[in-house]
């Protein structure tokens, strides 16, 4: 595989990462940038977790949700539409 093709693949992965984490395209990606952004994401999730647990706690343990949740009746098919 030529070096130019590898460079294009690296650029594609970097651009996807930058887009996913809101990093402007003109900022260089380095290991410290990645760690800093992942740490910020983890902190954000940890801050939201108590509210999510409280909301979900109203409905009982999550392990029981699929068995207790009401299910929609199966569709009986599509009605005949005029052509």
Separation of alpha carbons 31 and 14, rounded Å:
12
User: pLDDT (tens digit, 0 to 9) for every residue of the chain, 83 residues total?
Assistant: 789 999 999 989 888 888 887 888 888 888 887 888 889 889 998 898 888 888 877 766 666 666 555 566 555 555 565 55
Closest among 57, 50, 14 to 33, alpha carbons compared = 14
DSSP letter at 27 equals S
**Which pLDDT value is given to residue 6?**
93
Encoding tokens for residue 50? 């108590």
Residue with tokens 């940890």: 46
Cβ atoms within 10 Å, residue 77 = 6
**Which pLDDT value is given to residue 38?**
85
Q: What percent of the chain has pLDDT over 90?
A: 13
CB 12 within 8 A of CB 1: no
């Amino acid at each position: 595989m030529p070096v130019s093709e590898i460079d294009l693949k690296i650029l594609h992965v970097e651009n996807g990462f930058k887009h996913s984490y809101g990093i402007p395209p003109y900022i260089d990606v380095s290991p410290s940038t990645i760690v800093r952004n992942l740490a910020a994401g983890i902190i954000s999730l940890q801050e939201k977790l108590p509210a999510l647990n409280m909301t979900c706690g109203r409905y009982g343990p999550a392990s029981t949700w699929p068995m207790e949740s009401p299910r929609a009746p199966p569709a009986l098919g599509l009605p005949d539409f005029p052509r």
